[in-house]
A and B are shown apart, each in its own frame.
Chain A
Amino acid sequence: EDKVVQSPLSLVVHEGDTVTLNCSYEVTNFRSLLWYKQEKKAPTFLFMLTSSGIEKKSGRLSSILDKKELSSILNITATQTGDSAIYLCAVAGNQFYFGTGTSLTVIP
């Protein structure tokens, strides 16, 4: 059965901390892995990863894919209260498969 598992389920940190969110998958016909941010509305796209070992970076956020380990991590450095959201990992195979998400709360 195809599945995507994210950890931790929730996380509370202080502003300025660095966090690492994990995503592991078992999906047949893997094509890409995507990260989304959801803040009380529709998910918004962050990154798409297709190749192992190549880091994608956008400001304080970065992500990398490890196809050997069937996993990906999303790093957020110097967290801000505006980073508080649910972070969703999705894997595109024959269809899109989503994890349950990691709820991140950043407190001042």
Chain B
Amino acid sequence: EAQVTQNPRYLITVTGKKLTVTCSQNMNHEYMSWYRQDPGLGLRQIYYSMNVEVTDKGDVPEGYKVSRKEKRNFPLILESPSPNQTSLYFCASSKRTGNTEAFFGQGTRLTVV
């Protein structure tokens, strides 16, 4: 089954404790991206990747890191989480940007206390 898998689905952590949210897709997609969703602000792009070893900042990259060492995986790293990073996070992938839809993971609800 074609899918984007995020883990964990829910996470409560403390300020400053490094964490990684994993994202994996099985569709051989080139384009992958991370979004955060906050009430009233919609989906805001954190980072995106056009292909292996190619990553770019989105609209709200501060406090986040990503890597794209393999085509299927695109982990999101919070080196020192802060409470303002409490949010709902989505990973998405598509064949490319353009005339294809983006497939979303199920989301990760992160709470930083």
Q: Which residues of A contact B (CB under 8 A)?
A: 9, 31-32, 34, 41-45, 48, 50, 88, 90, 92-101
Contacts and interface: CB of A to CB of B under 8 A. Distances in A.
Nearest to B42: A100
B106 A90 contact: no
A96 B104 contact: no
Given A95-B48, A100-B41, A32 B33 contact: no
Interface of B: 33, 35, 40-45, 48, 56, 58, 90, 92, 94, 97-107
A61 to B, nearest CB: 15
B105 A31 contact: no
B42 A45 contact: no
Given A96-B48, A96-B102, 14 more contacts: A42-B104, A42-B106, A45-B102, A45-B103, A88-B42, A88-B43, A90-B43, A93-B97, A95-B56, A96-B33, A96-B97, A97-B45, A98-B43, A101-B42
A99 B43 CA distance: 7
Contacts of A98: 35, 42-45
A32 B99 contact: yes
17 contacts: A34-B102, A41-B106, A42-B90, A42-B107, A43-B104, A44-B104, A45-B102, A48-B99, A50-B99, A90-B43, A92-B99, A95-B33, A95-B48, A96-B48, A96-B97, A97-B45, A98-B42
Most A CB within 10 A of own CB, among B41, B42, B100:
B42
B33 A31 contact: no
Contact of B98 (A32, A41, A88): A32
Contacts of B92: 96
A53 to B, nearest CB: 17
Contacts of B99: 31-32, 48, 50, 92
A43 B103 CA distance: 8
